[in-house]
Amino acid sequence: MKHSAENRGIKGSHGADAVDPTSLLTEDCDVLLPAALGGVINKDNADAIKAEYIIEASNHPTDPEADEILAKKGMLILPDILANSGGVVSYFEWVQNIQGFMWDEEKERLAFDNTIVCVRWQMLLQPVVFLVELTVVIHQTS
DSSP per-residue codes, 57-108: -SSS-B-HHHHHHHHHTT-EEE-HHHHSTTHHHHHHHHHHHHHTSPPPHHHH
**Whether the model pTM is above 0.85:** no
* Consecutive H or E run containing 54: strand 53-55
Whether residue 81 contacts residue 104, with contact meaning beta carbons closer than 8 Å, is answered with no
**φ, ψ at 63 (rounded to 5°):** -80, 165
Residue-wise pLDDT for 79-102, tens only, equals 887 777 665 556 667 777 777 777
Q: Would you state the pLDDT for residue 115?
A: 59
Q: Would you state the pLDDT for residue 140?
A: 45
Residue-wise pLDDT for 21-77, tens only, equals 778 899 888 889 888 788 999 999 999 999 988 988 888 899 999 999 999 998 888
Q: Would you state the pLDDT for residue 12?
A: 78
Instruction: Tell me the domain boundaries of the chain.
Output: 19-141
Percent of the chain with pLDDT over 90: 18
Where does 19-141 sit in CATH, by number?
3.40.50
Q: Would you state the pLDDT for residue 68?
A: 93
Cα–Cα distance, 90 to 88 (Å, whole number):
5
Q: Would you state the pLDDT for residue 138?
A: 46
In the predicted model, what is the mean pLDDT of residues 107-126?
A: 58
Cα–Cα distance, 23 to 40 (Å, whole number):
11
